[in-house]
């Protein structure tokens, strides 16, 4: 039990400042994830000795964080405690109203043949949790304001790294405040981006498009990071802007991992929740409706950039005015 508690408390140690912003940089530059960073920190820092002195096996803790073993699903599974926690916490602190009954789900969890399951009597509560997650993506995680701010911060970090004010190793060891302080004392571009973020003068949408509706080679190229970069360069050149003032933002495709959670039916048969819930099955397909991409630019350039971008991609039904 102590190992499970330790894993739950330590599972996100590898996150850098501003969480997924720094992880995107980590993945692109080093090809690794915050889970790998977490493992490295636990096994090569004083944390290892602290755990050992408490009779807690640090290797076992890492295994749990990676979802291994019977109890690993509690920490990194299809319906783990982390998902329940961050959904409710994020909704609370951002003012997004969702309704979840995590206590009901937890009380109806069990292990069957070493697999974590929820009993059918908690199916409605589980559907409610998945619906909340489904709605949080367009409402918060993939909201254009969050995406714009994230892109501005990411480009500021990359500029500071390119000019040797910051290394990847240093980045991953910082907290949010240390990073912002470093950026404000680095390049003129990084300072500018931080100033714009402080004053909430975010880059605006010159275009919003649907990946699902984007057909042909253009749609395929948007899904390819290298080819996306080429598209961004073309748009920048056509617009006459500096490359650091036009962002083509294509988030990864939404994936409803929780659709693979297992439900123990009244007849003792175990099935995936997407097999027994039409609602979850529908959400799994409908989430692609929320897979958008944006072209961001400073407000003063929108009148110049907008027509060029719309000519390149075509006019969407939900065109930004």
3-state secondary structure the chain: CHHHHHHHHHCCCCCCCCCHHHHHHHHHHHCCCHHHHHHHHHHCCHHHHHHHHCCCCHHHHHHHHCCCCCCHHHHHCCCCHHHHHHHHHHHHHHCCCCCCCHHHHHHCEEEECCEEEEEHHHHHHHHHHHHHHHHHHHHHHCCHHHHHHHHHHHHHHHHHHHCCCCCHHHHHHCCHHHHHHHHHCCCHHHHHHHHHHHCCCCCEEEEEEECCCCCHHHHHHHCCHHHHHHHHHHHHHHHCCCHHHCEEECCCCCCCHHHHCEEECCCCCEEEHHHHCHHHHHHHHHHHHHCEEEEEECHHHHHHHHHHHHHHHCCCCCCCC
Residues 184-205 have pLDDT tens digits of 999 999 999 999 999 999 999 9
Average of pLDDT values for 304-309?
94
- pLDDT, position 317: 43
- pLDDT, position 316: 57
CATH code assigned to 144-253+291-313: 1.20.1250
> Which sequence spans correspond to the domains of the chain?
1-76, 78-141+257-290, 144-253+291-313
pTM of the model: 0.89
Instruction: Answer whether 78-141+257-290 and 144-253+291-313 agree in fold.
Output: no
Residues 61-71 have pLDDT tens digits of 999 999 998 89
CATH code assigned to 78-141+257-290: 1.10.3210.10
pLDDT band for position 265 (cuts 50, 70, 90)? very high
């Amino acid at each position: 039990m102590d190992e499970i508690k330790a894993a739950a408390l330590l599972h996100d140690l590898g996150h850098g400042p501003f969480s997924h912003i720094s992880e995107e940089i980590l993945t692109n530059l080093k090809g690794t994830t915050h889970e790998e960073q977490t493992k490295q920190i636990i096994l090569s820092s004083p944390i290892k000795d602290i755990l050992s002195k408490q009779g807690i096996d640090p290797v076992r803790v890492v295994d749990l964080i990676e979802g291994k073993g019977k109890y690993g699903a509690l920490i990194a599974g299809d319906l783990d405690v982390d998902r329940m926690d961050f959904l409710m916490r994020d909704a609370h602190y951002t003012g997004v109203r969702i309704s979840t009954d995590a206590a009901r789900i937890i009380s109806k969890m069990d292990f069957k043949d070493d697999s974590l399951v929820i009993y059918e009597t908690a199916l409605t509560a589980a559907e409610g949790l998945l619906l909340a997650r489904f709605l949080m993506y367009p409402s918060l995680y993939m909201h254009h304001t969050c995406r714009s701010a994230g892109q501005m911060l990411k480009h500021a970090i990359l500029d500071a790294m390119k000019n040797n004010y910051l290394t990847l190793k240093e980045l991953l060891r910082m907290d949010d405040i240390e990073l912002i302080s470093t950026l404000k004392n680095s390049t003129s571009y990084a300072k500018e981006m931080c100033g714009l973020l402080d004053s909430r003068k975010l880059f605006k949408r010159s275009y919003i498009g649907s990946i699902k509706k984007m057909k042909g080679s253009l749609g395929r190229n948007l899904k390819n990071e290298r080819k996306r970069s080429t598209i961004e360069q073309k748009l920048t050149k056509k617009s006459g802007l500096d490359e650091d003032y036009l962002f083509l933002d294509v988030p990864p495709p939404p994936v409803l991992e929780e659709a693979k959670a297992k439900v123990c039916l009244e007849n003792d048969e175990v099935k995936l929740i997407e097999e027994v819930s039409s609602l979850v099955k529908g959400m799994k397909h409908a989430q692609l409706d929320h897979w958008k991409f944006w072209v961001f630019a400073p407000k003063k350039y929108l009148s110049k950039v907008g027509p060029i971008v719309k000519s390149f991609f075509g006019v969407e039904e939900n065109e930004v005015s």
